[in-house]
Structure 1
Amino acid sequence: MEWAARGDHLRGVPRKMIFMAVGAFAKAVANLLNTTTVYNVETLLRLVRHRPPGVPLITVSNHMSTLDDPVLWGFKGFPITDVELGRWVLAAEDICFKNPVFSYCFRLGKCIPITRGGGIYQEHMNEALDRLANGAWVHTFPEGKVYQEDAPIRRLKWGTASLIVRAPVTPIVLPIVHHGFEQIMPENYMFGRRPPFPLCNKDVQIHVGEPIVFDVPKLKQEAVDSSRDLSFSHSGWPKTMCGLDEAAQKSLYTNISDQIRQVLESLRTSSLKAN
């Protein structure tokens, strides 16, 4: 259903309707039903609105509930109903694209279906790359699934790292850590299931970090050097991607993912101390 993701689908009217409806819902949950505080919001707004032409943005965050997106963007002052500024987001195919109605609505909402376990070179990762090539904003949850425990950031999947490496223009990478969505939409609320509606009177905190700068050419060379004596059995990956063999690719993606995880964990730790 890629046609529904095109900006000119029915002159863009269905997408505008979805953004208006979902934006109103997100703002209600974030501001009317609950209390949301955002730290360093100026950095996020600046990069969403005023980054250099043609430079893409990747935001990365922890994943505390199924409502993280879109409610993460529902705080006061954020242009959540602006179709042009709105993020593209990688979304789990088995949750968001279970039937044609869901698929249509999520596609209108600028969601890109990702098959969990399908690998970093699955078909729709190319769509995410196309969005980045156009200078768009893409949001990812690099942990790969919801984790509601108060615990350190888990080992990240390699998908986000592969997007950073493969994008024609290296994206700006902005880390975000949040707390409180796990209370609004707990996974085990009643009989091991989520509540039918978001819960109220909870405090949400969103901590925006500073951009992470990646020198991709330098990191590629380091990956080649570090993997020179390593070998991996071929597991369906392209034999060469961005000029790197499989061993170098895995070394590179591990390095970038570890750097992102360390920044997210540092932001998470500092946010807890601030409380």
Structure 2
Amino acid sequence: MARRVMEWAGRADYMGGIPRKIVIGAVGSLSKAWVSFLNSTTVHNADTLLHLVRSRPNGLPLITVSNHMSTLDDPLLWGFKGFPICDANLSRWVLAAEDICFKSSPLSYFFRLGKCIPITRGGGIYQEHMNEALERLSEGAWLHTFPEGKVCQEDSPIRRLKWGTASLIVRAPVTPIVLPIVHKGFEQVMPDKSSRGKRPPFPLCNKEIRIIVGEPMEFDIPKMSQVATSLSRKMSHSTLGWPSICPGGLDETAQRCLYSAISEKIQNAMEKLRIFGKSFTNSKDQNPC
């Protein structure tokens, strides 16, 4: 089994949970200040997200997915008014790039306390830290992912999603609720390049932020697996040595079909939110009342 980077620091019982509460409380307070007070933020359908975070049935995991517009999407995405961003127990787990957030011991310790799980980009959907994310879902936790796989600051259609999120949905003992979210404006709060040609040292202020929360998505994995198995019989793929997985012990070709179908559904839902967000903004501009 591959080594898990500082997994001990991410445990809820580490030092009585005090370091985690300090980090999440401090980062949450800063995020709330920047999003709720130093910038103008509009959230559509926030109640759906709040209900799932606070009141979903015990043991039912939640996966939120969003586009990725800046290096600070998380945690700023959760800084809007009314969201319990400073509550360490309700806070999300999030997949974070190992080469950025875990490139040194102090950074690894800090991000672990912030409930981040390191992911090696290009390491495949069955890397060891994906198993760690699966364990959190098995506990009924909330996990956030950026399934596009990298930051894109252009206002463009949602890109083809990576299959990691789909694999977690399929492999989880209890199929998670999936909630799509699309946002706009964080690329202005933390642009890759400012007027001086470099990324600013701190997030910027007086920007317009829009967060569009979609409706919960449920997946009938047994039924989708049957369809994927049927389709896979008509296809041939070079194999990477993926393990057979439940339900039904799907072979690699069937897994590819299943992950592709799930990812396409999520991508389509996100793209509809993106289009809605543009029309929502235009109507708001035309009707400021």
- For residue 190 of structure 1, report the CA deviation from its aligned partner: 4.7
| Number of the residue aligned with 2:286 | none
| Number of the residue aligned with 1:180 | 185
TM-score, with structure 2 as normaliser: 0.93
* Number of corresponding residues: 274
Structure 1: how far apart are the matches of 2:169 and 2:239?
23
Structure 2: how far apart are the matches of 1:190 and 1:15?
36
| Number of the residue aligned with 2:234 | 229
* Residue segments in structure 2 that go unaligned for 5+ positions in a row: 1-5, 282-289
2:241 matches 1:241: no
Question: Please, which of 256, 263, 267 is the counterpart of residue 269 of structure 2?
Answer: 263
Identity %: 68
Residues 144-189 of structure 1 show CA distances to partners (whole Å, capped at 9, x for unaligned) of: 0001101000000000000000000000000000000000001122
Structure 1: how far apart are the matches of 2:196 and 2:176?
43
- Letter of the structure 2 residue corresponding to residue 218 of structure 1: K
| Number of the residue aligned with 1:272 | 278
- For residue 229 of structure 1, report the CA deviation from its aligned partner: 2.1
Structure 1: how far apart are the matches of 2:79 and 2:143?
17
Structure 2: how far apart are the matches of 1:2 and 1:192?
37
Question: Please, which of 110, 126, 131 is the counterpart of residue 131 of structure 2?
Answer: 126
Give the secondary-structure state (helix, strand or coil) at the position aligned to 2:162. Answer: coil
| Number of the residue aligned with 2:103 | 98
TM-score, with structure 1 as normaliser: 0.98
| Number of the residue aligned with 1:138 | 143
| Number of the residue aligned with 1:2 | 7
2:178 matches 1:164: no
- For residue 237 of structure 1, report the CA deviation from its aligned partner: 1.6
- For residue 231 of structure 1, report the CA deviation from its aligned partner: 1.8
Give the secondary-structure state (helix, strand or coil) at the position aligned to 1:256. Answer: helix
Structure 1: how far apart are the matches of 2:240 and 2:96?
24
- Letter of the structure 2 residue corresponding to residue 270 of structure 1: F
Return 157-166 or 190-199, whichever deviates more: 190-199
Q: How big is the alpha-carbon RMSD for the aligned residues of Structure 1 and Structure 2?
A: 0.9
Q: Structure 1 runs of 4+ off > 6 angstroms? A: none
- For residue 28 of structure 1, report the CA deviation from its aligned partner: 1.2
Give the secondary-structure state (helix, strand or coil) at the position aligned to 2:144. Answer: strand
Give the secondary-structure state (helix, strand or coil) at the position aligned to 2:84. Answer: coil
2:200 matches 1:195: yes
* Residue segments in structure 1 that go unaligned for 5+ positions in a row: none
Structure 2: how far apart are the matches of 1:162 and 1:198?
34
